[in-house]
């Protein structure tokens, strides 16, 4: 008995010792200047966007002498792990960045502040992007950037094979025909198309074939409908039937961007954030067009946003910072000049300066694609849902299940594991 | 060894305190807390305080009993990843024993230059797993990697290694053996040095050949050390994690390298299911416990101790 008691005392004692370690680090503030802690991942020094972000903050501090911004940049790979521990320890920054996919997970946990009361005029925002950060009717954040995917193509390969360039009207079968022509004309080592069968590409592929992964009001999964099974069969077929696309093994650990830049890939579906890299590192001519669908057009929507912590003691100031960085014309102009994704704004002058830059010649396709945006299905258990879907799509590619079997099993697992 | 009773503990406590405090705070406390958390559906994304006054009500609010354990044990995922862990062990353990034994024998041979090998074999142990795993990933790259290019010289078409569903786990095993053989080799070397040289002299006089000496003298007298190495490596093998995370993206082709700790990490830090992850880790603990107990039983039967 004595021993147990002693052990108990020990544990309680260590709990007491530990408590302050996990306690709230109160933020200090001067008499009139408020310090706002700001944490983000998208602006990084590797791409020049870090410098752009510091410029934006400098402009903001000049306009708002009562606010001082303390910027902390964390790499994307570690960002969400550290954010999670800060949320748990009640030590989140006043303003922090979330991507659209993670936004609902955090919004549903009550750790974000409702900022609608603090937001000023939001008419300058692209409304689709703004609504993305609205959860259950409450505005929890503002979008700071958004981007979509387009079809990139290597003009030189099309010229060499004597095949006409892709147009906005192309469908999947046009892609397949052109790929086969190019591959038979140019021989081994050249691939026609790259678009992997992953959650991100699949949800969009499904929409391009007139389907959806969830019903209209998001109350049930509709993964294994006939049109979705067909979509999975066609998309997997690019790798395992028509073989216009290299398999994961044939890629041998090489990335899709690298394959394109090496001049051995005719067409690639990827994000517009590839512009900077491809402009600098492609030794051939390339251009873009709206990505082809099957029976319908659908394009990807990616967005990052700034949110305000529910624990912040300076929600008004924090919102002012978030809104300035995300949607002011000053910040947007800096963002465009640094080629840092697309600002989610509607200012004519900002957008026209974005359009003037080449390559690609057909930069309008970026904006035209916005007409077909389909946001991914977003649920509280977002990461788990996409991991489950990914794992069944792989079963199709590895031949261990037919498309029908895989999507049936996927539907069942989603229904049992993901609460809607 | 002669310290007796309470006074001994009292005298030792000040000396033990620095590491004891760390152990209590960063090992024992989290272990106890994870047991509480395993009975909840906490997402790991809301604030929590360890202040006893608010901690217990917090647990009570999120309490779901043994639901997490039930769910884990009834879904196929747990058994699949457990089988991946066991597959790893079946491949890894014999290879590791052979290689580390060879290391120990080479270093222990007292030939000229054998000390150089001591350093060479130990370097991987000191290398960080991340750096080592990245190098192995590159070595095993199917098209550009040195391993497959070397095999091509002999007309062998190398496998797709980490990109192949079949070869992904063996690739992880290969890297793990490389990393660990120096460490376990050193432990075995310690055992070798402890064997009384008179046995070898006697065997020599009796005309035993090297094979007989190894299997009749060295191996039996080393059995206790080998058992220790097996137990240690088995526990470590169940905790297989960094090499998998670095060498394969998203747990390998078709989930071929999904293992226990990788799942725990995903549930805790990616899928927002901290309670579920805590339950998963307690099940891992039980699995390791069972294996260790079996080994203890085996030890009594197979190990001979040299006095």
Q: Give the residue among A320, A358, A324, A340 at the shortest CA–CA distance from A146.
A: A340
Residue A386 three-state SS: helix
A90, A251, A395 member nearest B47 (Cβ): A90
Q: Look over chain B and give the mean of its residue pLDDT values, rounded to a whole number.
A: 89
Q: Are B173 and B91 in contact (CB under 8 A)?
A: yes
**Domain map (residue ranges) of chain A:** 32-146+303-346, 149-301+374-417
- Predicted confidence (pLDDT) per residue in A173-205, tens digit: 999 999 999 999 998 889 999 999 999 999 999
Question: DSSP secondary structure string, A259-301?
Answer: HHHTT-EEEEEEEGGGHHHHHHH-SS-EEEEPPPBSSS--EE-
Number of domains forming the structure of chain B: 1
Give the strand pairing for A95-99 and A34-40.
parallel
A249, A380, A383 member nearest B142 (Cβ): A249
pLDDT (average), residues B60-85: 93
Q: How many CB pairs under 8 A join A and B?
A: 100
Domain that holds residue B127: 67-190+222-302
> What's the whole-model pTM score?
0.82
State the pLDDT at residue B48.
85
Contact A253 B28 (CB under 8 A): no
State the pLDDT at residue A3.
58
- Predicted confidence (pLDDT) per residue in B206-234, tens digit: 888 888 888 888 888 898 899 899 999 99
- Predicted confidence (pLDDT) per residue in A205-231, tens digit: 999 999 999 998 889 999 999 999 999
Chain A interface disruption, residue of B23, B45, B53, B138, most A CBs within 10 A: B45
Is B143 among the domain residues?
Answer: yes
Q: Answer yes or no: is pLDDT of B17 > 50.
A: yes
Residue B5 pLDDT class (50, 70, 90 cuts): low
State the pLDDT at residue B190.
92
Q: Are A147 and A341 in contact (CB under 8 A)?
A: yes
pLDDT (average), residues B70-79: 92
Contact A88 B24 (CB under 8 A): no
Q: Are A256 and A270 in contact (CB under 8 A)?
A: yes
Which residues in chain B have their CB less than 8 angstroms from residue A378's CB?
A: none
Is B126 among the domain residues?
Answer: yes
Other C-beta atoms within 10 Å of B179: how many? 19
- DSSP class of residue A214 equals B
Residue A308 falls in which region: left (phi positive, over 0), alpha (psi -120 to 50) or beta = beta
State the pLDDT at residue B207.
86
Please tell me chain B's helix, strand, coil percentages from 3-state DSSP, rounded to the nearest 5.
Answer: 75, 0, 25
Q: Answer yes or no: is pLDDT of B250 > 60.
A: yes
Q: Answer yes or no: is pLDDT of B2 > 90.
A: no
State the pLDDT at residue A15.
53
The tokens describing A11, both together, are: 């544990």
- Counting every residue, how long is chain A? 420
B45, B160, B271 member nearest A111 (Cβ): B45
Which residues in chain B have their CB less than 8 angstroms from residue A391's CB?
A: 254-255
State the pLDDT at residue A6.
64
Contact B271 A110 (CB under 8 A): no
Give the strand pairing for A34-40 and A286-289.
unpaired
Which residues in chain A have their CB less than 8 angstroms from residue B28's CB?
A: 11, 14
- Counting every residue, how long is chain B? 307
Residue B50 has phi, psi (to 5 degrees) of -90, 5
Nearest CA in chain B to A380: B272
Three-class secondary structure assignment of chain A? CHHHHHHHHHHHHHHHHHHHHHCCCCCCCCCCCEEEEEEECCCCHHHCHHHHHHHHHHHHHHHCCCEEEEEEECCHHHHHHHHHHHHHCCCCCCEEEEEHHHHHHHHCCCCECCCCCCCCCCCCECHHHHHHCEECCEECEEEEEEECEEEEEEHHHHHHHCCCCCCCCCEHHHHHHHHHHHHHHHCCCCEEEECCCCHHHHHHHHHHCCCCCECCCCCCECCCCHHHHHHHHHHHHHHHCCCCCCCHHHHCCCCHHHHHHCCCEEEEEEEHHHHHHHHHHCCCCEEEECCCECCCCCEECEEEEEEEECCCCCHHHHHHHHHHHHHCHHHHHHHHHCCCCECCECCHHHHHHHHHCCCCCCCHHHHHHHHHEECCCCCCCHHHHHHHHHHHHHHHHCCCCCHHHHHHHHHHHHHHHCCC
Is B76 among the domain residues?
Answer: yes
Q: Give the residue among B263, B269, B284 at the shortest CA–CA distance from B43.
A: B269
Q: Answer yes or no: is pLDDT of B307 > 50.
A: no
Q: Answer yes or no: is pLDDT of B1 > 50.
A: no
Is B51 among the domain residues?
Answer: no
- How far apart are the CA of A90 and the nearest CA of chain B, in angstroms? 6
Residue B53 pLDDT class (50, 70, 90 cuts): confident
| Interface of chain A toward chain B, CB-CB under 8 angstroms | 10-12, 14-15, 17-19, 22-23, 80-81, 84, 87-90, 105-106, 109-111, 248-249, 251-254, 311, 380-381, 383-384, 387, 390-391, 394-395, 397-398, 400
Is B206 among the domain residues?
Answer: no
- Predicted confidence (pLDDT) per residue in B83-140, tens digit: 999 999 999 999 999 999 999 988 888 777 777 888 889 999 999 999 999 999 889 9
Report the DSSP beta bridge partners of residue A308.
Answer: A95
Residue B164 pLDDT class (50, 70, 90 cuts): confident
CATH code linked to domain A149-301+374-417:
3.40.190.10
Residue B277 pLDDT class (50, 70, 90 cuts): very high
CA distance A190 to A182: 8
State the pLDDT at residue A336.
86
- DSSP class of residue A372 equals G
State the pLDDT at residue A172.
96
- How far apart are the CA of A357 and the nearest CA of chain B, in angstroms? 35
State the pLDDT at residue A267.
97
Q: What is the CATH number of the domain that holds B243?
A: 1.10.3720.10
Is B149 among the domain residues?
Answer: yes
The answer for residues whose C-beta is within 8 angstroms of residue A248's C-beta and 6 or more apart is A397, B163, B253
Contact B47 A88 (CB under 8 A): yes
Per-residue pLDDT tens digits of chain A, which is 420 residues long: 455 566 556 655 555 555 545 444 444 444 689 999 999 998 887 777 889 999 999 999 999 999 999 999 998 888 988 998 899 888 999 999 999 888 988 999 889 999 999 998 888 898 888 988 999 899 999 999 888 899 999 999 999 999 999 999 999 999 999 999 999 999 888 999 999 999 999 999 999 999 999 998 889 999 999 999 999 999 999 999 999 999 887 887 788 999 999 999 999 999 888 888 898 889 999 999 999 999 999 998 888 999 999 999 999 999 999 999 998 999 999 988 887 878 888 888 888 888 888 788 898 898 888 889 888 888 888 889 999 999 999 999 988 899 999 999 999 999 988 988
B45, B50, B137 member nearest A84 (Cβ): B45
Q: Which fold does the domain A32-146+303-346 belong to in CATH?
A: D-Maltodextrin-Binding Protein; domain 2 (3.40.190)
Nearest CA in chain A to B52: A15
Is B84 among the domain residues?
Answer: yes
ipTM of model over 0.90: no
Is B58 among the domain residues?
Answer: no
What separation in angstroms does the CA of B152 have from each of A246, B35, B144, B146?
Answer: 22, 52, 11, 10
Q: Are A291 and A37 in contact (CB under 8 A)?
A: no
């Amino acid at each position: 008995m004595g021993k147990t008691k002693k052990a108990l005392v020990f544990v309680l004692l260590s709990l007491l010792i530990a408590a302050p370690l996990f306690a709230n680090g109160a933020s200090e503030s001067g008499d009139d200047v408020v310090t706002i802690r700001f944490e983000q991942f998208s602006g990084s020094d590797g791409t020049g966007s870090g410098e752009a972000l510091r410029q934006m903050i400098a402009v903001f501090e000049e306009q708002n002498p009562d606010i001082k911004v303390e910027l902390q940049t964390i790499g994307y790979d570690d960002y969400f792990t550290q954010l999670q521990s800060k949320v748990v320890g009640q030590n989140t920054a006043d303003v922090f960045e979330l991507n659209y996919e993670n936004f609902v997970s955090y919004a549903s946990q009550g750790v974000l502040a409702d900022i609608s009361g603090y937001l000023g005029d939001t008419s300058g925002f692209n409304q689709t992007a703004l609504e993305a950060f609205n959860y259950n009717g409450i505005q929890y954040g503002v979008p700071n950037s958004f981007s979509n995917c387009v079809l990139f193509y290597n003009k030189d390969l099309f010229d060499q094979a004597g095949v006409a360039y892709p147009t906005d009207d192309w469908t999947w079968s046009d892609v397949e025909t052109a790929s086969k022509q190019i591959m038979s004309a140019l021989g081994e080592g050249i691939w026609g198309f790259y678009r992997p069968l992953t959650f991100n590409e699949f949800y969009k592929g499904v929409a391009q074939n007139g389907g959806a992964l969830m019903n209209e009001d998001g109350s049930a999964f509709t993964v294994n409908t006939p049109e979705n099974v067909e979509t999975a069969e066609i998309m997997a077929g690019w790798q395992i039937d028509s073989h216009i696309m290299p398999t994961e093994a044939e890629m041998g650990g090489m990335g899709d961007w690298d394959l394109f830049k090496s001049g051995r890939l005719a067409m690639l579906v990827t994000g517009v954030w590839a512009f900077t890299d491809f402009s600098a590192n492609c030794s051939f001519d390339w251009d873009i067009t709206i990505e082809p669908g099957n029976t319908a057009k659908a394009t990807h929507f990616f967005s990052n946003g700034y949110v305000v912590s529910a624990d912040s003691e300076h929600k008004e100031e924090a919102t002012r910072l978030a809104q300035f960085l995300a949607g002011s014309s000053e910040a947007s102009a800096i963002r465009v000049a640094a080629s840092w994704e697309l600002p989610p704004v509607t200012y004519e002058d900002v957008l026209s300066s974005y359009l003037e830059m080449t390559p690609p010649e057909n930069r309008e396709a970026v904006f035209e694609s916005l007409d077909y945006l389909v946001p991914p299905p977003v649920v509280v258990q977002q990461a788990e849902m996409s991991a489950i879907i990914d794992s069944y799509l792989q079963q199709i590619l590895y031949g261990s299940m037919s498309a029908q079997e895989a999507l049936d099993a996927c539907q069942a697992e989603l229904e049992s594991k993901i609460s809607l | 060894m002669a310290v007796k009773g309470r006074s001994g503990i009292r005298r030792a406590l000040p000396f033990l305190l620095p590491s004891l405090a760390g152990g209590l705070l960063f090992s024992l406390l989290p272990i106890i807390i994870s047991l509480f958390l395993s009975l909840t559906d906490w997402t790991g994304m809301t604030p929590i305080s360890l202040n006893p006054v608010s901690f217990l009500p917090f647990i009570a609010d999120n309490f779901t009993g043994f639901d997490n354990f039930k769910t884990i044990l009834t879904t196929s995922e747990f058994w699949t990843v457990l089988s991946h862990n066991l597959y790893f062990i079946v491949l890894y353990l014999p290879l590791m024993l052979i290689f580390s034994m060879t290391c120990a024998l080479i270093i222990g041979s007292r030939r000229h230059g054998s000390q150089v090998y001591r350093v060479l074999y130990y370097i991987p142990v000191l290398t960080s797993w991340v750096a080592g795993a990245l190098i192995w990933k590159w070595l095993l790259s199917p098209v550009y990697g040195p391993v497959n290019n070397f095999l091509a010289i002999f007309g062998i078409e190398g496998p797709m290694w980490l990109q192949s569903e079949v070869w992904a786990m063996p690739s992880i095993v290969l890297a793990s053996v490389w990393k660990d053989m120096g460490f376990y080799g050193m432990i075995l070397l310690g055992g070798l040095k402890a064997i009384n040289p008179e046995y070898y002299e006697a065997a020599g006089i009796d005309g035993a050949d090297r094979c007989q000496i190894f299997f009749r003298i060295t191996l039996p007298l080393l059995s206790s050390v080998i058992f220790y190495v097996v137990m240690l490596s088995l526990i470590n093998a169940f905790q297989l994690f960094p090499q998998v995370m670095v060498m394969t993206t998203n747990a390998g082709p078709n989930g071929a390298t999904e293992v226990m700790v990788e799942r725990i990490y995903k549930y805790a830090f990616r899928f927002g299911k901290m309670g579920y992850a805590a339950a998963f880790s307690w099940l891992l603990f039980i699995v390791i416990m069972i294996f260790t107990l079996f080994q203890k039983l085996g030890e009594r039967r197979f190990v001979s101790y040299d006095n």
